[in-house]
Amino acid sequence: MRIGIDARTLEKQRTGIGNYIYGLARFLPQVGPEHDYLFYSNREIQLAVSGRRVSEQIDRAFGWCPGSFWLRGRGGSLIRRDQLDVFWATHAILPACIPRGVLKIVTVYDLVWLRFPETTANFARLVQKIWARKAIEKADLIVTISRSTAEDLVQEFGVPETKIRCVYPGVFEAYKRRDPQRAAEYISKKYGVSPDYMGAVGTVEPRKNLKLLVEVVRILKSTGQLKCPLLVAGANGWKNSPLLRQIQAAGLTENEIRFLGYLPDEDLPFFYSGADVFLFPTLYEGFGLPPVEAMACGTPVIASNARCMPEVLGDAAILEPPDSAQRFVDAILKLRANVNLRHSLQAAGVLKAEEYCWQASAKQLLGLIDNQHKSSERVTVTAKGASSL
């Protein structure tokens, strides 16, 4: 098969979706070396693999317009030019005028734009409203990253369950247990921070619910129980000003809570490993990879019990309501006081993280594509045969 892939998120500074595509793209040519893989983008990308059957297709036409508009306008002609058998839409956007007979695979990560629209930027919400419903309807196969998202699709859009398959993300091999003290010292020296810290990872945007962590730090400080600062790693998103005002109103400084910005891939395993505890109070996720990465590094996790977190983390983390800062505070204090609880969470977390494997996920995805392609070919042959009778 000739498989085309929307690769626009494969940038140098990748976040959740980019990491998902990067992880699968790295192993697809390994598990399916007989296929051709064409990665499409309107800007430079960083591929995880190279080889005779892997190619970057950088198209500069309409370079002035947003990537989603470029894909809609240019995708169909590129698919036709390269005679693709399959197009994998790594966002819920399909190009216009896809040639007949091309298998359409669409990945849906979450429905945050529908479930929590107030936490989504206006432009992103508009793009989803315009094109996501159409892509979901026209897709031959929909891939989700959790069963929770699959359930949302059935409930919100009435998508048949037979049309949906779940392919979990994996954990890169760099995320593994390291010496906590050495990891913390590395982060301390490189970023000029305390070697004792609580950690959080996530783009600074409303959905990540970082305002709860500000309240957690305020409570700990006001009760004399803030033993170390909270360090937040993640790119700036949108609507940061309300969060900064909240920090100022709480009387907190960089000695109590500090935003490190985007951390490069090579530093994240050290950041996780050196943290006393990892906090993830999200309001809504399609999967939520950071707490799994933290568990792989042997760090105890306290996360929200919001959509999909129980599915993804199971009993290997402490789960608390995303609207209760006090419950997060109590969980932090419990971890400090109970060494046995800490050790059991660390061990359970490592085992849970081992369930998420990029190579297995890539093999599963390619198997789904292959089966769907063969099924489509059988339908086409049958239709031709019937028309000739």
pLDDT of residue 240: 66
In this prediction, residues 360-381 reach a mean pLDDT of 82
101, with CB counted inside 10 A (0-12, 13-18, 19+), is exposed
| Residue range 80-135, pLDDT digits in tens | 999 999 999 999 999 999 999 999 999 999 998 888 888 777 887 888 888 898 99
Q: Decide: 31 and 366 in contact? Cβ < 8 Å.
A: yes
Q: What pLDDT is attached to residue 388? A: 46
Q: How confident is the model at residue 282 (pLDDT cuts 50, 70, 90)?
A: very high
**pLDDT tens-digit series, residues 309-318:** 999 999 999 9
Q: Which CATH superfamily is domain 2-170+357-388 in?
A: Glycogen Phosphorylase B; (3.40.50.2000)
51 falls in which pLDDT band (50, 70, 90)? confident
Domain boundaries along the sequence of the chain: 2-170+357-388, 180-353
Q: How far apart are CA 303 and CA 301, in angstroms?
A: 6
The reply to whether 180-353 shares the fold of 2-170+357-388 is yes
Which of the listed CATH numbers 3.90.1300.10, 3.30.70.1520, 3.40.220.10, 3.40.50.2000 matches domain 180-353?
3.40.50.2000
Amino acid at 381: V
Predicted TM-score (pTM) of the model is 0.91
Query: Tell me, what DSSP letter sits at residue 33?
Result: T
pLDDT tens track for 180-202: 999 999 999 999 999 999 999 98
| Mean pLDDT, range 251-277, rounded to an integer | 94
Contact 223, 300 (CB under 8 A): no
Residue 372 pLDDT > 80:
yes
Model confidence over 321-355: pLDDT tens digits? Answer: 999 999 999 999 999 999 999 999 999 999 999 99
Burial pattern 186-203, b for ≥16 Cβ within 10 A else e, equals bbbeebebebebbbbbbe
Q: How far apart are the C-alpha atoms of 161 and 173, rounded to whole Å?
A: 33
Give the model's confidence band at 378: pLDDT under 50 very low, under 70 low, under 90 confident, else very high. Answer: low
